[in-house]
Amino acid sequence: MSARVIFLGPPGAGKGTQASRLAREWGIPHVATGDMLREAAQNGTRLGLEARGYMDRGALVPDEVVIGLADQRLGQPDAAHGWVLDGFPRTVPQAEALDSLLGRRSLELDRVIFFRVTDAELLRRVTGRRICRQCGAVFHLVFNPPAQGDRCDRCQGALYQREDDAESAVAHRLEVYARQTEPLLGYYRRRNILSEVPGEGSLEQVAAAIRGCIRQAAAS
């Protein structure tokens, strides 16, 4: 299947899970921004090393670096027939830069999918995450609870909650995301390529809604 799709949604919306699942189904790569940055840094490319410098300082990687890495990644052979972008673009300038790099290749976006999830549900999802200090295994108090409460099922290591998963931190992240993303949604809405799907159903229900959006885009 050929598809060039962007998944947008706040932290905890489930876009990464669906992107990975549907990319495998469609035979195209799931391109997550964080993975792309880490891979480039590990490979030691010029842009990758530049990105690593920012990440090591805990600073945001500048748009021009992220866009350059996206240009390189989307030009790789496995992306010739499409991709699912997850976590990029985040702002209107990034979206405009993506349009430019696609235009240079005579390509167009097929669809932008926004995962609509209530703040209350997002807080429930993200604040319930627990991570093993010893092996890094991830659990969730609601969806994937550990058998022994505060101990890892794999190695018996202590579980902890990351600082940015605490309720106050998550609430702030959601506020920042909403401010950044609303103009981006408007940008794609004006181009008539934005679809919204409810992100609070089962995995299959959400996947079915996404498939329906892609079929509708292909038929139009």
Cα four-point dihedral sign 102, 106, 110, 111: positive
Which residues, 6 or more positions from 132, have their beta carbon under 8 angstroms from its beta carbon? 138, 139, 152, 154, 155, 157, 158, 159
Q: Is 60 helix (H, G, I), strand (E, B) or coil?
A: coil
Three-state DSSP state, 174: helix
Q: Are 109 and 102 in contact (CB under 8 A)?
A: yes
What is the C-alpha separation between 16 and 13, in angstroms, rounded? 8
> Could you give the strand order of the β-sheet that contains 111-116, starting from the edge strand earlier in sequence?
30-32, 82-86, 3-8, 111-116, 194-198
What does R_g of the chain's alpha carbons equal in angstroms? 18
Provide the annotated active-site residues: 15, 90, 129, 162, 173
The token pair at 202 is 């089962």
